[in-house]
Amino acid sequence: QGRLVESGGGSVQAGGSLTLSCLASGYLSSSYCMNWFREVPGKEREGVAASAPPPRFHGDGREYYADSVKGRFTISRHRANDTLILQMNNLKPEDTGTYFCAAGLRRDCGTWERADIEAWGQGVQVTVSS
């Protein structure tokens, strides 16, 4: 597997949308659980979305979301170009933070245990103004 490289962050007003991309070379054609985390100063890094590997890679293909983003964020895998996407709609000021793409162990996908994470991206900033 290669590196994880995020892109697509920026600034938007509340109610707007952003799409984050993670170039995840080699990770989407394997049994990794793929995740998006976010971090704000003074708080622990928290998981917001996770994608279990598909059945061909020994997973069930399920998606998991933190309660705070359910119905607004969508995680998706695009194997053709090795890209993990986080579509963020109806953004709120509390969504502001640094967003990280992460590859982790298939077990307990959706629990966002830091100990299960094997690779992190460098992070991308998202700022939502009211």
* Chain segment 46-72, per-residue pLDDT in tens: 999 999 999 999 999 999 999 999 999
Q: How does residue 2 score in pLDDT terms, banded at 50, 70 and 90? A: confident
DSSP letter for 83, please.
Answer: E
At residue 19, does pLDDT exceed 90?
yes
Angle, alpha carbons 53-43-109 (nearest 5°): 15
Q: Please check whether residue 121 is in contact with residue 38, taking contact to mean a CB–CB distance below 8 angstroms.
A: no
Short-list 30, 24, 31, CA closest to 82: 24
End-to-end CA distance of the chain: 39
DSSP letter for 43, please.
Answer: S
Helix (H) or strand (E) holding 55: none
**What per-residue confidence (pLDDT) applies to 76?**
97
At residue 1, does pLDDT exceed 80?
no
